[in-house]
Amino acid sequence: MPDAQDHNTDTDNDSDPHAHAGPPGLTPLPSKEEMLLLEPFGRIGLEKIHVVSTRQAAQQAMTELEGLRVLGFDTESKPTFLKGEVSDGPHVVQFATSGRAWVFQLHDPACREAVAGLLASTHVTKVGFGLAGDRTQIMAKFGVPPEAVMDLDNAFRKMGYRKSVGVKTAIALIFNKRFLKSKKVATTNWANARLTELQVLYAANDAWAAIRVYEALDIL
């Protein structure tokens, strides 16, 4: 959910010599310089991504999603750049399994209703990174508190890591790969009636990366 900066960007503090350290026995977190040397992480392709923007598509998506136990989750919003400007996002909400992804646009009331139902469900766990801002916007947008939401940053804190672990650092730590995120795409207009292919890929892969990390951690 970008505001002028991508909300999922890792905030490594390279000026702190202890920033990447954890308790004894934990693998140190990689630095930004180390991550740049890694091979790119794979991504989910367009052929496995469903863009949901109509009532019919929302009904079909809900038929599939309501029966799942855990989904990768993230949101995107049209960025705000002016001081004091308040975002009316999220404008896109995305969910993913390890094999498929659903990118919901929220112009159609049926799409908003479907997303609100999933977010309020206690039967489907939604996992992602940096979800504090998402929670606030979801409450404002849908009027319902998101339930069964797991911020994976907290999972890393419970493991003993002292600093925030975003999606880029998590992918590098677990898979020894570099997760590619374009700030240029992150700050595009997510409120457009039609998303570009780059936007669809960006949104879907944010949620897909979260479920991949979750499954690798084997939390539940």
Query: Alpha-carbon distance 144 to 54, whole Å?
Result: 22
| Residue of 120, 69, 122, 67 lying closest to 93 (CA atoms) | 120
Class of domain 32-215: alpha beta
Q: How many angstroms separate the Cα of 172 from the Cα of each of 54, 125, 169, 200?
A: 37, 24, 5, 23
Give 172-207 pLDDT, tens digit per residue: 999 999 999 999 999 999 999 999 999 999 999 999
Give 68-118 pLDDT, tens digit per residue: 999 999 999 998 877 877 778 899 999 999 999 999 999 999 999 999 999
